[in-house]
Amino acid sequence: MYTGTIDCFRKTLVREGITGLYRGMAAPIIGVTPMFAVCFFGFGLGKKLQQKSPEDILSYPQIFAAGMLSGVFTTGIMTPGERIKCLLQIQASSGESKYNGTLDCAKKLYQESGIRGIYKGTVLTLMRDVPASGMYFMTYEWLKNIFTPEGKSVSDLSAPRILVAGGIAGIFNWAVAIPPDVLKSRFQTAPPGKYPNGFRDVLRELIQKEGITSLYKGFNAVMIRAFPANAACFLGFEVAMKFLNWLAPNL
């Protein structure tokens, strides 16, 4: 249907208007706040589990492991939101009108398949988020250390440097996440019973019909989003932590 990112953008605007670019937005918005709260909680817990004392400095492989734990924590929140978002997005492009919105989609999925229908694609979400989250946090911590001037503390890093570190971390995150994300989206939007063996069937069909490069479909669109979105995410986290430490230092 689309020859690339620009073609998709143009056709979506022509067919659906500016609102078409925000199709399926409600589901991720509902989940984004608890998702990031759980994500950073999981990362902090992963670090504490590997530290003998709070002052211990973790190696980059240990930071990667802590990041992977955060990916496990977020899967329970991410999977339903991703399932609903993907269904609403492909519905818009196909011209069908089975679902009237996020809540209607969730209700009908539950009526058709129960809780399993809402959580379809959980394994693939884990396959995407666990290694990608490890890369995400490891890259961010690595870049923060590189950007910190000699003799200064990482906690004193300027906002522009935090933005750059967070943005690049987002790019590294999605470089790892795109292939399993493509498989997840195909699986979550497929008719019931199409892929009885799960991601193995999806992977086999995708490579046979479209080649190995199909695993990176949407690369340009994802990368356009990755830098600003994750730059803002980490800046928001750092500002929030400084505010909370000032407001309640003993919390």
Query: Which among 87, 111, 85, 110 has a CA at the least distance from the CA of 26?
Result: 85
For position 26, what pLDDT does the model report? 74
Reported pTM: 0.84
Residue pLDDT, tens place only, 218-228: 898 899 999 99
Tokens of 69: 């734990």
For position 108, what pLDDT does the model report? 93
Helix, strand, or coil here: 129?
Answer: helix
Distances (CA, A) of 104 to 85, 184, 214: 12, 22, 31
Do the Cβ atoms of 139 and 172 come closer than 8 Å?
A: yes
For position 188, what pLDDT does the model report? 93
Q: Tell me the C-alpha distance between 101 and 106, whole Å.
A: 9
For residue 16, the one-letter residue type is E
Distances (CA, A) of 45 to 37, 42, 100, 189, 231: 12, 5, 39, 33, 23
Q: Tell me the C-alpha distance between 238 and 251, whole Å.
A: 16
For position 151, what pLDDT does the model report? 84
> Could you say which residues of the chain have pLDDT below 50?
none
Other Cβ atoms closer than 10 A to 54: 7
Q: Which residues contact 203 (CB under 8 A, 6 or more apart)?
A: 183
Residue pLDDT, tens place only, 60-79: 999 999 999 999 999 988 89
Angle between helices 60-94 and 102-113 (to 10 degrees): 90
For position 77, what pLDDT does the model report? 87
For position 92, what pLDDT does the model report? 66
Cα maximum dimension of the chain: 60
For position 94, what pLDDT does the model report? 67
Tokens of 245: 């430490």
Q: Where are the domains of the chain?
A: 1-120, 149-250
For position 95, what pLDDT does the model report? 66
Rg (the chain; Cα; Å): 20
Helix, strand, or coil here: 148?
Answer: coil
Q: Give rounded-to-5 percent helix, strand, coil for the chain.
A: 80, 0, 20
Angle at 167 between CA 161 and CA 170, to 5 degrees: 140
Helix, strand, or coil here: 53?
Answer: coil
